[in-house]
A and B are shown apart, each in its own frame.
Chain A
Amino acid sequence: MLPPVFGVLFDGIAYGMLLFLLSVGMSVTLGLMNFVNLAHCAFGMLGAYVTVMLMKNFNWNFFATLPFAFLAAAFVSVLVERTLYRRLYRATDLDQVLLTIGLAFISVAAAAWFFGTTQQPVAMPSYMRGSITFFGLNIGIYRLFLIAVGIVVTILLVMTLEHTRFGAQVRAAVDNQRMARGLGIDVDRTFAVTFALGSGLAGLGGALAIEIVGLDPHFAFVYLVYVLIVVSVGGLGSIAGSFAAACLIGISDIAGKYYVPQLGGFLIYLVMVAVLMWKPAGLFGKRS
């Protein structure tokens, strides 16, 4: 029999993986492209609605919808990036915030218009429900799946950004745009692809989140808070940082609710304050 602390750790990491998928895209756009995209979770919500609609109206299997949640969010984000965001890459933070928060509001209203304000039902395949017992611990099967997805995505991302030609182009474009252009790198295209990748991951995260937290039009705002916490605690532009921060926030949230429910969901804010006082640039942040 393992003590309950392992159960808390497991649940915390699973929840952290969800936060990681939702926030890693924002960490990339904010850290690498210096663009404040507060509409990030709106793309997550889009992915979630795609999954719900495919399952509800076309009886698709949950897993089959996941790639489409990713693609839909990525595709729409490229449209938005090409038409709106690219004009503001050199604008002030305030301009970017105003535009993107406006888009987030629009997305909430649009989702309410099309899908109503109620919770969207999804029925997971029965083999994903329930839990298995492992040395006396309850291991939720779906949570196990979340952790697996989180780890795979992390590895793929790190490999892509650190070890591929595309990754090198992204880093070059960020460090010195003029120089990168001079070397023949298509910076516009690189940014568009990076942006699509980040938003696509948010779409995937949104779709995966439905089973744990549900889906309604306020998704775009409710999770923005958590995403911003993860990004700031982890440090901008750092994938490892986002991963560590998401785990830390996930575990402290679950541990707080389990051991000190009086504190409720407040513990994560204390953790955030503590980390940022210790390291103002975040756990893995390079610049302050």
Chain B
Amino acid sequence: MKTMLYASAAAAVLALVSTAQAQDTVKIGVILPYSGQFADGAKQMDAGIKLYMKMNGDTVAGKKIEIIRKDVAGPQPPVAKRLAQELVVRDNVDILAGFLLTPNAMAAADISAEAKKFMVIMNAATSIITTKSNYSVRTSHTLPQVSATMGAWAAKNGVKKAYTMVSDYGPGHDAETSFQAALKSAGGESVGAVRMAVANPDFSAYVQRAKDLNPESIFVFIPGGAQPAAIGKAFAERGIDSAKTKILGTGELTDDSALVNMGDTALGIITAWTYDHNHKSALNEKFVAEYKKDNNGENPNFFVAGGYDGMHVIYEALKKTGGKTDGEALVNAAKGLKWEAPRGPMMIDPETRDIVQTIYIRKVEKVGGKLVNVEFDKVENVKDPVKAAMK
């Protein structure tokens, strides 16, 4: 107990000292899995953060922005919590940001709530994260936001019966329930569902089962990475013809890297998503060109957009507060913030602090010999349906 007291006293003194020194800088602690299985996503989001600072300068409202990066190395909530704590207590950061994975964001939200630090969630997509800290905002999307939009769109566009296939974990359950609910309330019907083991290398049995039921459409949610290609190949191998059975999904399913792996079997898959580098807007074209210049010609994806837009929220909030960094002031400045992002118009919902944005309906087509997600419809001003239902 005594050592705890000393430690916190020392921390308090240190905090005072560093506040005195750090008056002209705003420190942002970024927590991402820079190593391990999710390192690619972290790298991309980090590149989005860097790009925003490069394009908009590293000084806002007279303060210099300093980024302190911490590697959480995977879905490890205790580590994320410890890192957030260290950032707040030792490095004396003003803002917590990053967060690729839900469990890490949930753990760090406790620290944000306790220390009253502004927190920007740049990817993690489980609905409830933003309810854990009143100082948090999100600049990515929520999974229900995307999958409910898909469900409602499908029912309105002639797909009345759907079978759902989701990964058997939190986000998968979210996607399943919100897709089915939206489908039903728009007059559609769910004809069956399967939850697939998360650590699952071979999808053939699940796909065969779906095929034997011969549904009008199949909705798929699986995490990005290894699985989209595997399930795409299983669809092709089982002879599921996307002309007869519509394959619907969220954007992970047809991410660029997944498309390369799937090849032509991906043609005709319809997905609902927030950002694609082919989105047509002047701002996006500039964003893509600048990103490619710094990243060996790679195209930006939703991780990059999440990081980029997250920095935008931080910059705009700081401008509004005139450089004041207390959590209350920053989060109030962020509420209701509207801006034009590479992905289109966005807003921080003043009530839920979550993201409000356009969801695009895309279809995989071959353009100039390459597989591309072509946007052909959109739903504007989509809020998170889970929080709307909580009210």
Contact = CB atoms under 8 A, between A and B. Distances in A.
A266 interface: yes
Contacts of A7: 208
A131 B261 contact: no
Contacts of B211: 138
A7 B236 CA distance: 16
A138 B226 contact: no
| Among A15, A118, A142: residue with most chain B CB under 10 A | A118
A131 B205 contact: no
A131 B257 contact: no
Interface of chain A: mostly helix, strand, loop or mixed: helix
Nearest to B42: A117
Interface stretch (B62-70, B116-124, B190-198, B331-339): B190-198
A117 B40 contact: yes
Interface residues on A, range: 35 or more
A117 B39 contact: yes
A214 interface: yes
A17 B226 CA distance: 21
21 contacts: A7-B208, A11-B204, A15-B204, A118-B40, A119-B258, A119-B261, A121-B261, A138-B239, A140-B238, A143-B237, A214-B201, A214-B226, A214-B227, A223-B201, A255-B205, A257-B205, A258-B208, A261-B195, A261-B209, A264-B197, A265-B199
A102 interface: no
A265 B197 contact: yes
B200 A265 contact: yes
A142 to B, nearest CB: 7
A119 B197 contact: no
B212 A131 contact: no
Nearest to A139: B237
When A and B form their complex, which 3 residue pairs have the shortest distance between CB atoms, in order from nearest? A264-B197, A265-B197, A257-B205
A118 B209 contact: no
B261 A211 contact: no
A4 B214 CA distance: 14
Interface in A248-263: 253-258, 261-262
A257 B231 CA distance: 14
B230 interface: yes
| Among B39, B195, B205, B227: residue with most chain A CB under 10 A | B205
B196 A214 contact: no
Contacts of B196: 257, 261, 264
Interface of B: 36-40, 168, 194-197, 199-202, 204-206, 208-209, 211-212, 225-227, 229-230, 233, 236-239, 257-258, 260-261, 263, 265
Given A4-B208, A119-B261, A123-B263, A131 B239 contact: yes
A67 interface: no
Contact of B202 (A8, A130, A212): A212
B202 A15 contact: yes
Nearest to B257: A118
A130 B236 CA distance: 6
Contacts of A228: none
B37 A117 contact: yes
Nearest to A256: B205
Interface in A130-146: 130-131, 138, 140, 142-143
B364 to A, nearest CB: 15
A16 to B, nearest CB: 11
Interface of A: 4, 7-8, 11, 15, 112, 116-119, 121-123, 129-131, 138, 140, 142-143, 211-214, 216, 218, 222-223, 253-258, 261-262, 264-266
Contacts of B258: 119
Given A129-B236, A216-B37, 16 more contacts: A11-B208, A116-B40, A118-B225, A119-B226, A130-B237, A138-B237, A140-B237, A212-B201, A212-B202, A213-B201, A223-B201, A257-B197, A257-B209, A261-B194, A261-B196, A266-B197
Contacts of B209: 257-258, 261
B257 A119 contact: yes
Contacts of B238: 131, 138, 140
Given A131-B237, A142-B237, A214-B229, A254 B204 contact: yes
A46 B197 CA distance: 27
Nearest to A215: B226
A218 B195 contact: no
A254 B261 contact: no
A140 B204 contact: yes
Contacts of A264: 168, 195-197, 200
Contact of B237 (A118, A129, A213, A256): A129
B37 A119 contact: no
B201 A138 contact: no
Contacts of A118: 40, 225, 257
Contact of A213 (B195, B202, B263): B202
Given A121-B229, A121-B260, A121-B261, A254 B205 contact: yes
A118 B200 CA distance: 17
A140 B204 CA distance: 10
A140 B203 CA distance: 13
Contact of A112 (B39, B204, B227): B39
A119 B224 CA distance: 10
B38 to A, nearest CB: 8
Nearest to B201: A213
| Among B201, B233, B239: residue with most chain A CB under 10 A | B201
A118 B230 CA distance: 13
Contacts of A130: 236-237, 239
B235 to A, nearest CB: 11
A265 to B, nearest CB: 4
